[in-house]
Chains A and B, each alone.
Chain A
């Protein structure tokens, strides 16, 4: 049966090479999985139910499975009733049990069964000493199940998302979280601290803008040693918009001469190079094409739009010929996602939508349909886009580009200011 699935999946992807095309996959082509919490689980603060829901959510977000949430009463050691599972159309059966060991650690044991071959195919345990980290146990389980199937990686699920949230006037804090916002830990608090940006893919340190002094300062903080460095200060504003893959170059928006322009700062030589010299607004730079070019937002057409400039050259290239107010962008290889305001005044609904374009074609694909969708950020592999959705409250959104699916996770306190992952 799974070989039949293989055929359909092959068929689907043969027509899905261009990510700007809308792809609607047939759910029946995916393996169906059922996740069950064993009834002999430790149930402190409903940890078993919390883990169950998170694993189901992770597998749903992965878009590599159909979830069949059937109710099964079972102990962890019991063998699955394969016939019943097959009759319910289930291909994979994941059962887990939560326990506590002598050190009071939370242990989650899992068993994954291939129902079609009547075999156990994965048996593993996960541990944490702290209750609220159960979130990452659930993400690791989902990652391992996905990895067992050799489906496209979802390893990003147990990485930190870092964000700033406004709490009050001129007051914000920087938080690390999992991508569902189920786990949150404040890492910078007090005053106005905004635009956090990971210093490298290892997520050991991050940059952010601090308003502690008379002028804004770009700070770098190590997450594990608490070492805090002042990198640069600038009259008016300073923001780290992008970090090169090797972590040695930063794209900054700063205004040492009262004029917001794009700069590249070399963290090794400590030399900053001014990239744009326009008298209006240039902000939000992102490296593209092996750090040889910067894509940025500028109002040089009297409204915000997306442009590109080759480092070391004079010409500026307009990239977007759609919309009247395109004020944020993120890049991945030849792809750009930008946020476009659908109206050009403060009246009316003021919808902000996200659009995906390829620099190799003129096709534009709309990724959202309503509301305020802003601050898009590509994942490192370009497969997903994180964004902020604002209604009466803030949501962290994730778009699974190849699967034409998006998911929203609410922020319980404050308003999201910016995000990175």
Chain B
């Protein structure tokens, strides 16, 4: 940046000098004025449309539905061959990715339901989706969401789920369940959702 500032100095010197000498410049003829077009590259800009893709961001594609049952608890309903499994989301403190004792009980409760379902569907996969509130930088939030998913995964593995059956994804702040701007809402968004993939 220092070299840039020196260039600035030199450049601005030249402003005065050249402006002072402008009378020696050639006058232009309208008819011969060069035409500068902006179209050459912009005509070729193309658009990619992922809407036709099998997007895993669409809840319905994995037969999972998000349900807000009251103001503080969020549950995700997974439909496994007609069997409904309701798993409670795990919530976290501000800027935190460690499970509280209360949330550890939630992960154990969820494990019991998952284990029951896996008895009938051994190929069942569990997808853990980490989420954040709107505070913090976006890239940091995606990492924070991932750490929350990882803490939840570690709890599931400790309870007995095969680690190879778990996939994780972080949605950062892109997937809020509450869009009002208050602390209760932000608290609901700092969570990990479970989805069962038949």
Closest Cβ of chain A to B161, distance in Å, is: 14
| Bound-complex Cα distance A158 to B41 (A) | 12
| Bound-complex Cα distance A303 to B135 (A) | 13
B42 x A133 contact (CB < 8 A): yes
Residues of A contacting B53 in the complex (Cβ-Cβ under 8 angstroms): 190-191, 212
The contact string, 1 if C-beta is below 8 Å from chain B, for chain A 230-252, is 00000111010100000000000
Closest residue of chain A to B182 (Cβ to Cβ) is A346
B15 x A9 contact (CB < 8 A): yes
A123 x B153 contact (CB < 8 A): no
Closest residue of chain A to B55 (Cβ to Cβ) is A191
Q: Number of contacting residues on A, CB 8 A? A: 116
Residues of A contacting B147 in the complex (Cβ-Cβ under 8 angstroms): 260, 280-281
B150 at the interface (CB under 8 A from A): yes
B15 x A149 contact (CB < 8 A): yes
Which of A17, A120, A150, A176 has most B Cβ within 10 Å?
A150
Given the known interface contacts A194-B174, A235-B168, A281-B143, the answer about A382 and B1 at a Cβ–Cβ threshold of 8 Å is: yes
| Bound-complex Cα distance A124 to B27 (A) | 11
Closest residue of chain A to B190 (Cβ to Cβ) is A346
B175 x A169 contact (CB < 8 A): yes
B13 x A6 contact (CB < 8 A): yes
Residues of A contacting B37 in the complex (Cβ-Cβ under 8 angstroms): 126-128
B39 x A149 contact (CB < 8 A): no
B34 at the interface (CB under 8 A from A): yes
A284 x B50 contact (CB < 8 A): no
Closest Cβ of chain A to B170, distance in Å, is: 5
A119 at the interface (CB under 8 A from B): yes
| Bound-complex Cα distance A328 to B20 (A) | 45
A418 at the interface (CB under 8 A from B): yes
A223 x B46 contact (CB < 8 A): yes
Of B2-10, B74-82, B108-116, the segment with at least 4 beta carbons within 8 Å of chain A is B2-10
Q: Number of contacting residues on B, CB 8 A? A: 81
Closest residue of chain B to A241 (Cβ to Cβ) is B139
Closest residue of chain A to B183 (Cβ to Cβ) is A346
The contact string, 1 if C-beta is below 8 Å from chain B, for chain A 354-390, is 0000000000000000000011000001110000000
A195 at the interface (CB under 8 A from B): yes
Number of A-B residue pairs, CB cutoff 8 Å, is 300
Closest Cβ of chain A to B74, distance in Å, is: 13
B39 x A210 contact (CB < 8 A): no
Given the known interface contacts A120-B27, A346-B186, the answer about A283 and B16 at a Cβ–Cβ threshold of 8 Å is: no
A214 x B56 contact (CB < 8 A): yes
Residues of B contacting A190 in the complex (Cβ-Cβ under 8 angstroms): 49-53, 55
Within 8 A of A (CB), among B111-143: 127, 130, 133, 135-140, 142-143
Closest Cβ of chain A to B146, distance in Å, is: 4
Within 8 A of A (CB), among B26-46: 27-30, 33-39, 41-46
| Bound-complex Cα distance A350 to B95 (A) | 14
A253 at the interface (CB under 8 A from B): yes
Closest Cβ of chain A to B188, distance in Å, is: 12
Residues of B contacting A158 in the complex (Cβ-Cβ under 8 angstroms): 38
Residues of B contacting A382 in the complex (Cβ-Cβ under 8 angstroms): 1, 4
| Bound-complex Cα distance A193 to B53 (A) | 13
B38 x A126 contact (CB < 8 A): yes
The contact string, 1 if C-beta is below 8 Å from chain A, for chain B 139-166, is 1101111110110010000000000000
Q: Determine which of A176, A193, A283 lies in contact with B50 in the assembled complex, contact meaning CB atoms within 8 Å.
A: A193
The contact string, 1 if C-beta is below 8 Å from chain B, for chain A 1-34, is 0110111011001101111000000000001000
| Bound-complex Cα distance A329 to B58 (A) | 32
A350 x B135 contact (CB < 8 A): yes
The contact string, 1 if C-beta is below 8 Å from chain B, for chain A 293-327, is 00001000001100000000000000000000101
Closest residue of chain A to B149 (Cβ to Cβ) is A236
A211 at the interface (CB under 8 A from B): yes
B57 x A333 contact (CB < 8 A): no
B18 at the interface (CB under 8 A from A): yes
Closest residue of chain B to A209 (Cβ to Cβ) is B142
Q: Determine which of B38, B153, B174 lies in contact with A417 in the assembled complex, contact meaning CB atoms within 8 Å.
A: B174
| Bound-complex Cα distance A195 to B171 (A) | 12
Closest Cβ of chain A to B19, distance in Å, is: 4
A210 x B50 contact (CB < 8 A): yes
Closest Cβ of chain A to B187, distance in Å, is: 8
Of A46-54, A67-75, A334-342, A405-413, the segment with at least 4 beta carbons within 8 Å of chain B is A334-342
A57 at the interface (CB under 8 A from B): no
Closest residue of chain A to B23 (Cβ to Cβ) is A117
| Given A2-B15, A133-B42, A345-B94, 19 extra CB contacts under 8 A | A16-B8, A116-B19, A119-B27, A124-B34, A133-B39, A140-B38, A149-B18, A158-B38, A176-B45, A187-B46, A215-B167, A221-B48, A236-B168, A253-B142, A253-B143, A260-B143, A284-B140, A334-B2, A401-B1
21 interchain pairs, CB-CB under 8 A: A3-B16, A6-B12, A19-B2, A64-B15, A120-B27, A127-B35, A149-B18, A151-B11, A169-B174, A190-B51, A191-B57, A194-B138, A211-B169, A214-B127, A224-B44, A225-B46, A237-B142, A260-B147, A328-B140, A333-B1, A401-B1
